[in-house]
Amino acid sequence: MEYLFAPMEGITGYVFRNAHHRHFHGIKEYYTPFISPNQTRKLTPRELQDVLPEHNEGIPVIPQILTNKADDFLWAAERLKELGYREANLNLGCPSGTVVAKKRGSGFLEYPVALDEFLYRVSDGIERLDMELSIKTRIGKSDPEEFEELLSIYNRYSLKNLIIHPRVQTDYYKNHPHMEAFALAEQESKNPVIYNGDLFCGDDIKRFADAYPKVPAVMLGRGLLTNPALAEDAARLSETDKGTLLTAARIRAFHEDVLEGYRKVIPGDKNVLFKMKELWTYLGEAFEDSAKPMKKIRKAQRMEEYRAAVEALLLEKPVCSVPRFPGWNR
């Protein structure tokens, strides 16, 4: 089983990726937060910084593009090729209301005829660029029954892989994945399928691998943010010692790397703290009985106060024996 790191908007940019790649192992590819091309035909400063080769040295990175216009996708893909990339991933999974309102991300799934026309043009253009196309998709806008038609569309095109998060857009991250839709894809997809969704600990991954032994890889998101060593833990499930490889010392070193990386590129400690607190929304779940120290981290207004709160958590609270993102269905 291979492990891919899902794009998480606002969190998994190049500062985070570099720190994770230095301190943890087992990730085959990191997918970037999406690039959103527009009529200016220019990458934004943030988008460019995130995909510059010098900011991703030695890291296997797959850029993701969010658009419903074939010309814009192909322009962005060509720009990425100039930077050395050979694959572009199409975002058909983002459930955000602002994205969906523009018929992008999972909002595009509501228009299968337009999606088919888009993929026809993009597939031809990507081939001319000598690049590969992959897709990250949900299974529909509001009804899992939509996926049968969507899968028939995907089957018309050559994809490096089809990454499936088996929820509909209106699920957001609630409810449970519709595994019958993924099973349909595993049986009938003409392209390699990869699973994404609610794999929060090693046992989750093992259960999935046992149920779908032919699926070569899974994409991990919230589970990896809670336990940055999740891919390492999953890889050793067959061993006698199944405890986590995540330790407070590893978290401390990783955290310091991320923090200092942000301080180099983000002006003002207040803005840096905002970024770090977003990460702790997930990482805090890796510790036992973390509610009180996490409250101090969230309330910290000064860097010294924040550092003290983080250090208190690391010293006083043990890492869970099985760190696991609790999900949002509780």
Same structural domain for residues 8 and 97? Answer: yes
Question: Residue 294 — very low, low, confident or very high, per pLDDT cuts 50/70/90?
Answer: very high
Read off the pTM: 0.96
**Residue 184 in domain:** yes
Same structural domain for residues 173 and 41? Answer: yes
**Residue 322 in domain:** no
The number of distinct structural domains making up the chain is 2
Question: In degrees, to the nearest 5, what angle opens at C-alpha 108 toward C-alphas 49 and 330?
Answer: 80
Average pLDDT, the chain: 96
CA distance 283 to 262: 17
pLDDT higher for 326 or 185? 185
CA distance 56 to 17: 8
Same structural domain for residues 217 and 261? Answer: no
> Does the pLDDT value for residue 246 go beyond 60?
yes
pLDDT digits (tens, 9 = 90+) for 143-182: 999 999 999 999 999 999 999 999 999 999 999 999 999 9
Locate 284 and state its tokens. Answer: 């805090």
Locate 194 and state its tokens. Answer: 């990869």
> Does the pLDDT value for residue 330 go beyond 50?
no
Same structural domain for residues 62 and 135? Answer: yes
**Residue 180 in domain:** yes
Print the domain residue range for 255.
248-316
Cβ atoms of 35 and 67 closer than 8 Å: no
Q: How many CB atoms lie within 10 A of CB 205?
A: 23
**Residue 327 in domain:** no
Same structural domain for residues 140 and 29? Answer: yes
CA distance 18 to 5: 13
Q: Say what percent of the chain tops pLDDT 90.
A: 95
Where does a domain end: 235, 269, 302?
235
Give the CATH number for residue 47.
3.20.20.70
Where does a domain end: 184, 202, 235?
235
Same structural domain for residues 160 and 281? Answer: no
Same structural domain for residues 149 and 258? Answer: no
Same structural domain for residues 80 and 172? Answer: yes
Same structural domain for residues 100 and 49? Answer: yes
At residue 240, the pLDDT reads 55
Locate 236 and state its tokens. Answer: 């050793």
Same structural domain for residues 224 and 196? Answer: yes
Measure the N-to-C terminal CA separation of the chain; round to a whole number of Å: 29
**Residue 41 in domain:** yes
> Does the pLDDT value for residue 239 go beyond 70?
no
pLDDT digits (tens, 9 = 90+) for 171-228: 999 999 999 999 999 999 999 999 999 999 999 999 999 999 999 999 999 999 999 9
Q: Hunting for tokens 């026309």 — which residue is that?
A: 117
**Residue 325 in domain:** no
Q: How many CB atoms lie within 10 A of CB 271?
A: 12
Where does a domain end: 174, 203, 235?
235
CA distance 183 to 175: 18
Same structural domain for residues 189 and 271? Answer: no
Same structural domain for residues 177 and 311? Answer: no
CA nearest neighbour of 88 among 110, 70, 113: 70
Q: Burial level of 6, CB count in 10 A (0-12/13-18/19+)?
A: buried
3-state secondary structure the chain: CEEEECCCCCCCCHHHHHHHHHHCCCEEEEECCCECCCCCCCCCHHHHHHHCHHHCCCCCEECEECCCCHHHHHHHHHHHHHCCCCEEEEEECCCCHHHHCCCCHHHHHHCHHHHHHHHHHHHHHHHHCCCEEEEEECCCCCCHHHHHHHHHHHCCCCCCCEEECCCCHHHCCCCCCCHHHHHHHHHHCCCCEEEECCCCCHHHHHHHHHHCCCCCEEEECHHHHHCCCHHHHHHCCCCCCCCCCCCHHHHHHHHHHHHHHHHHHCCCHHHHHHHHHHHHHHHHHHECCCHHHHHHHHHCCCHHHHHHHHHHHHHHCCECCCCCCCCCCC
At residue 321, the pLDDT reads 92
> Does the pLDDT value for residue 238 go beyond 90?
no
> Does the pLDDT value for residue 97 go beyond 80?
yes
Q: Say what percent of the chain tops pLDDT 70.
A: 98
**Residue 228 in domain:** yes
pLDDT digits (tens, 9 = 90+) for 41-94: 999 999 999 999 999 999 999 999 999 999 999 999 999 999 999 999 999 999
Question: Residue 237 — very low, low, confident or very high, per pLDDT cuts 50/70/90?
Answer: confident
CA distance 87 to 275: 29
How far lies 136's CA from each of 2, 199, 267, in Å?
A: 16, 16, 33
CA distance 329 to 325: 11
**Residue 84 in domain:** yes
